Structure 1
Amino acid sequence: MKKDFINFYELSKEELLEILELAEKLKKGETSVNTLKGKSIGLIFMKPSTRTRLSFEVGVYQMGGQPVYITGSSTQLSRGEDIKDTGRVMARYLDGLVIRTYSHQEVEELAKYFDKPVINALTDYLHPCQILADLQTVKERKGKIENIKVTFVGDGNNVANTWLIAGGLVGFDVSVATPAGYEPSGKAVYQALKLAQKTGAKIEITNNPAEAVKGADVIYTDVWVSMGQEGEKEKKKDFEGFTVDRDLLKHAPSDVLVMHCLPAHKGEEISEEVFEQYADVIFDEAENRLHAQKALMHYLFK
């Protein structure tokens, strides 16, 4: 039976740890994988991308495969072709699909009709490949991803949703601090809590960032206005007090990590000073997209 990576919710903790272990070995050069030799992997991008596109194109090539970059405007999707028809056609040519788009439901439908592995490279609901790389980064820096606390500060977006579900799966605590009205998806909270029943993770949603960062091992933030929401710039005024800056860090432990998935709007969700203080961590995250996704593709295609 084929395997997809659409949501952490569909992965077991053991499978996740296996992927992260391989990612660590790949980064250190202790092993290599040629799992995609002779395979063509379609990369469908309905949204602009820097890290996601580069890391997948390079990763597929390094694993012996051929990346095929596909923009939404270059296919019949732009003219209204059904996603299920697109999936059935692409299955005749390609060995796997990576898709970065808006609708999460479209990705789920595509996976039903494309009979080979499908990877969710970002939707408006989730960003699982980013959090996979983030978990690798936390493990490198903290030596573990269990028995920790991750605090997300900002908009309750796809990244916040994914942190919640990942915490529930692995068993680490997640606190999401947003302004009122910007809380994460109820579906994500439900999935996180359901997983947490088995792992003991504590899931918290709050409107108080200073309280949320207390005891945090990791403080994470992302842009306040996500891609595709540029018309909502006026909402930035609602985020006063939710900048990850020196004042907020006074409430956190001295050894806390600050992380950001990039691109950063410095002076909004994170101050320039704090960004530069933790730049090594932040750009390790970006690099780890390559290693974590190679390990993921090995898991899916082996």
Structure 2
Amino acid sequence: LINCCSTCLTNCTLGNLIKKKAIHAGAACLGSVNLKGRSCLTLKDFSSDEIKKLLWVSGDLKHRIKHEKQYLPLLQGKSIAMIFEKRSTRTRMSTETGFSLLGGHPCFLTSQDIHLGVNESWSSLDSVMLSWLVYKHSTLEELDREASIPIINGLSDLYHPIQILADFLTLQEHYGSLNGLTVSWIGDGNNVLHSFMMTAAKLGVHLKVATPKGYEPDKGVTEEAHRLAKQHGTQLILTSDPMEAARDSNVLVTDTWVSMGQEEEKKKRLKDFHGYQISMQTGSVAKSDWTFLHCLPRKMEEVDDQVFYSSRSLVFSEAENRKWTIMGLIVSLLTDYTPQIPMLKF
């Protein structure tokens, strides 16, 4: 027994030393990642380490500002132009308050205030502002080609990268680690799903997707997601059966079935999405620790009250993290900031 315990103690000590060295090596690796000057149109363009660095910076800012009550004027003297083609509560509030909290000056502009490409050339704002756009994705790509400053996609018809950063920070905080989790998307094959598909595999997360027939994700995005899953050794499963997608999953996610501009399709969409509402019955086939995400605003047909207001629902933490992750993203694109907290466990 004595020999056995001594051997176990030695093994545990060696194991801990190896683990600590691996953690330090990982922190050093992420610490060397520099995103200054980059744009963020889609997380498709970011590597696994780059996404982890963004989440680490976001978690660091949240800890230092929210919990330690530190003032970090990292963006003092900088301005951001937030140009919106569609209304957005969380995107506008998280960006305005977050940018101000870091000492910068946010400028909110609507399509009535400015006409890029018509009365204003692409380059007329380029020399003075970081630009925040809500546009067709092709327009974002055109602007990024012309601009010499970082462009951030607040939401486009193809991707919603800032939402996914908030989602994964929320899951990292709740579960303590992301690697090996299974996320199930049950709903429309939209821009939020596309961003999940471009990100999950890079974080070691399995993804199961249930969409009604005719509402599948973009073909090109799907092909790239399969490639990423193969590269990173994760699963990507696409189905039209919500219960099949939910089975053995850690996280159930949905979004609006009727987005802005789709109001005329509402009656047909509600019929086509029948059976896709997330309820406790959906969760009954998931893992015992399952949680729920929704980027908001939520409607009753998408998820019932029993799930939405339950302890399994992380939607309000998720909404708060929109601010911390957009702050982390902007700081990473504009500065050489190094996180002060230990590296997050991924």
Q: TM-score, normalised by structure 2?
A: 0.82
SS in 2 for 1:87: coil
Task: List aligned pairs for 1:201-216, cutoff 5 A.
Answer: 201-216=234-249
Q: 131, 153, 157: which is aligned to 1:120?
A: 153
- Other-structure match for 1:99: 133
**1:74 correspondence with 2:113:** yes
Structure 1 residue 23: Cα displacement: 1.4
**1:221 correspondence with 2:258:** no
CA contact (8 A) 1:168 1:193 kept: no
Structure 1 unaligned regions, length at least 5:
none
Aligned-residue CA RMSD (Å)? 1.6
- Other-structure match for 1:172: 205
Structure 1 residue 190: Cα displacement: 1.8
Which whole-Å CA distance do the structure 1 matches of 2:40 and 2:248 have between them?
31
Which whole-Å CA distance do the structure 1 matches of 2:109 and 2:223 have between them?
34
- Other-structure match for 1:160: 193
CA contact (8 A) 1:244 1:269 kept: yes
SS in 1 for 2:112: helix
Which stretches of structure 1, 4 residues or more, deviate above 6 A after TM superposition? none
Which whole-Å CA distance do the structure 2 matches of 1:111 and 1:89 have between them?
14
Which whole-Å CA distance do the structure 1 matches of 2:198 and 2:43 have between them?
6
CA displacement 1:78-97 (0-9 Å, x = unmatched): xx618xx6321111331x11
Structure 1 residue 32: Cα displacement: 5.7
Which whole-Å CA distance do the structure 2 matches of 1:121 and 1:289 have between them?
11
CA contact (8 A) 1:9 1:169 kept: no
Which whole-Å CA distance do the structure 2 matches of 1:280 and 1:182 have between them?
25
Task: List aligned pairs for 1:128-139, cutoff 5 A.
Answer: 128-139=161-172
Which whole-Å CA distance do the structure 1 matches of 2:61 and 2:198 have between them?
25
- Other-structure match for 1:13: 48
- Other-structure match for 1:263: 297
Q: Which moved more, 1:163-172 or 1:115-124?
A: 163-172
CA displacement 1:56-107 (0-9 Å, x = unmatched): 0011111111101010121124xx618xx6321111331x111123x11111
**1:232 correspondence with 2:261:** no
Amino acid at match of 1:60: F
Q: Relative to structure 1, is the Cα distance of residues 88 and 265 closer, same or farther in structure 2, using a 3 angstrom cutoff?
A: same
**1:50 correspondence with 2:85:** no
Q: 229, 249, 255: which is aligned to 2:283?
A: 249
CA displacement 1:122-147 (0-9 Å, x = unmatched): 01111110010000000001111111
CA contact (8 A) 1:168 1:194 kept: no
- Other-structure match for 1:149: 182
CA contact (8 A) 1:259 1:278 kept: no
Identity of aligned residues (%): 36
